[in-house]
Amino acid sequence: MSSTLQGRIDEVPTLNIKDPEVYNLASELARRLETSMTNAVRMALLEAVERERRVRDDYVERMSQLARLTRDASHEPFLTDDDIYDHDGLPR
């Protein structure tokens, strides 16, 4: 499929939606937003990608914070077997 974009002819990939439910949802969203189905799908995908990025960024930040806490806590002495078990190997 060819398309004219700023005076150039470029190949434009197509999206063929074969699932009737997905097609109906895209169509309904387009009607509600008073836009084309392409724009409705674009907007929905952008929103989903941005939401996923926020979730992923939050996860990375939480893991980084946990790593910092773990690193900072590593200055504390760790328990040894002698701290946990008596001379017979039983828990204290």
pLDDT digits (tens, 9 = 90+) for 15-68: 888 999 999 999 999 999 999 999 999 999 999 999 999 999 999 999 999 988
Quote the pTM value. Answer: 0.56
Tokens, residue 51 = 């939401």
53-69 pLDDT, tens digit per residue, is 999 999 999 999 998 88
Give whole-number Cα distances, 59 to 45, 56, 69, in Å: 21, 5, 15
